[in-house]
Structure 1
Amino acid sequence: MRRIGLLGGMSWHSSIEYYTKINDAVAKKLGGHHSAQILLDSCDFADIRELQEANDWAGNDASLTATAQRLVDGGAEAVAIATNLMHKCAPAIEASVDAPLIHMVDSIATMAKRQGFSTLAVLGTRWTMLEDFYTGRLEAQGIKTLVPDEATCLEVDQIIWDELTQGKFTDASRARYVEIMNDLKTRGADAVALSCTEIGLLVPPETAPLPALDSVDAHVAAIVGWMMAEEPVAI
């Protein structure tokens, strides 16, 4: 089994999901007392958030690159960023760290293609929805993307930062997200990518009004597939 290095803590609520789901998949695959070989570097998210709010992405590049290097120095054979938004920093990590990066967007594209989806609604932070680093990478792999209008994107973003990343999951926000998903469905989305790692905690895929691809599940499938030196496993 290969050893993965996780850049976690963004937020810790979803990092728990990563740790649990990776170990569960490995245990199901190998049986007995097997568990996953994981190195986890869990940041103080307040530091990352301060840089985000200052639009200091060079600072976040430096922070996450240093984290990835610590993991590799500690024995990780590949790294994974356990958050969608911080894949804005993926190019900096790939350019600086001598280890593979298992990219979340690629894992979502793989899951979408395997399930026969061609048009994904994308819900996440405003950067994830409105910038090219995420939707552009999906489009480059043949997946058409749809996002809400800009005002709704800001509403989705506010709920993420004011509630979800702080472990708050309310019925009102759940209902609003479902309403937004229904609107994207009417615009032609055949599935929705839950492109913030906490959205699946608010709206579990089985409760969404259209097929939902949980970014954590897609990423974990790719990570465990790499750990076992095989194709992504079902989660």
Structure 2
Amino acid sequence: MKHAGIIGGLGPESTVDYYQSFIKKYQEKVNSKQKLPELFINSINMYNIFRFISEGKLDALVNYVGEAAQKLESIGADFIIISANTPHIVFDQVREKVGVPMISIVEATYEKAEELGLKRLGLLGTKFTMENDFFKKPFITGKKDIFVPDEDVQQYLHQKIVDELENGIVDPQTKQDFLKIVHDMAEKENLDGLILGCTELPMIINEDDTDLALLNTTEIHVDKMIEQLF
């Protein structure tokens, strides 16, 4: 059996979601509750990630995440994922530091959008994900329109993600605020899809909350992990 390697802790809540979802989807795939996938989790510090990006220290970020990937490879991981969107700002550089395959959450999400035929997508996430181009590039290259909120809204979303969702807090008022942001974006930009570009966002936005096609990056990423096993 192949061993999955997860760089986790980015944040802890979504790492738990990855773990549970990976097991559930594997058991559904093999049609047995008596079988379990084997995996390694290297949990690192999400606040180091935020600090390196805020300070523009991308080389330090590459080394930090790259070392986490190398540790997973050294103990036998056959493939590796980073269980968060934001660190994918240096995904290509980290991938060069290991000899085993790494599965990109960005590439997987683009492939899902293409599969669904989506053309105009909103992107929510940390401010680092929304203000930088690393997530947008494959969509722009594939001639899809991708939109983010205004800068002040980006800052609000980021703060709520860091202060609340990363700590497992789902505040009803925050949920209403997030859904209003989604509604306003959908109307303004005529969206046909919404990317939950932070692995904590499914805690607060789900398919029942919007008529848009919802791209849950965690679920999409885990599906690719399952494919890699077989």
Alignment TM class, shorter chain as reference:
over 0.9
| Matching residue of 1:214 | 216
Quote the offset at 1:209 in angstroms: 4.4
| Matching residue of 1:71 | 72
Q: 3-state DSSP class of the match of 2:96?
A: helix
d(CA) in 1 for partners of 2:75, 2:207: 35
Say yes or no: does 1:36 pair with 2:19.
no
RMSD, aligned α-carbons: 1.5
Q: How many residues align?
A: 228
Unaligned runs of 5+ in 1: 229-235
d(CA) in 1 for partners of 2:53, 2:131: 15
Q: Share of identical aligned residues, percent? A: 23
Letter in 2 for 1:184: M
Is the Cα–Cα contact under 8 Å of residues 109 and 143 in structure 1 kept in the other structure? no
Change over 3 Å in CA distance of 1:204–1:54 after alignment to 2: same
Once the two structures are superposed, what CA deviation does each residue of 1:177-213 show, in whole Å capped at 9, x if it has no partner?
1111111211121010000000100112332342211
Is the Cα–Cα contact under 8 Å of residues 49 and 87 in structure 2 kept in the other structure? no
d(CA) in 1 for partners of 2:163, 2:88: 21
Q: 3-state DSSP class of the match of 1:96?
A: coil
d(CA) in 2 for partners of 1:192, 1:118: 11
Letter in 2 for 1:31: N
Say yes or no: does 1:18 pair with 2:18.
yes
Q: How does 1:64-103 map to 2 (within 5 A)?
A: 64-103=65-104
d(CA) in 2 for partners of 1:132, 1:45: 20
Q: How does 1:168-179 map to 2 (within 5 A)?
A: 168-179=169-180
Higher mean displacement: 49-58 or 86-95: 49-58
| Matching residue of 1:48 | 49
Q: 3-state DSSP class of the match of 1:223?
A: helix
Change over 3 Å in CA distance of 1:8–1:55 after alignment to 2: same
| Matching residue of 1:197 | 199
d(CA) in 1 for partners of 2:126, 2:49: 14
Letter in 2 for 1:58: D
Letter in 1 for 2:192: D
Name the TM-score, length of structure 2 as normaliser. 0.93
Change over 3 Å in CA distance of 1:139–1:81 after alignment to 2: same
Change over 3 Å in CA distance of 1:121–1:96 after alignment to 2: same
Q: 3-state DSSP class of the match of 1:134?
A: coil
Letter in 1 for 2:228: W
Quote the offset at 1:15 in angstroms: 0.5
| Matching residue of 2:145 | 144
| Matching residue of 2:9 | 9
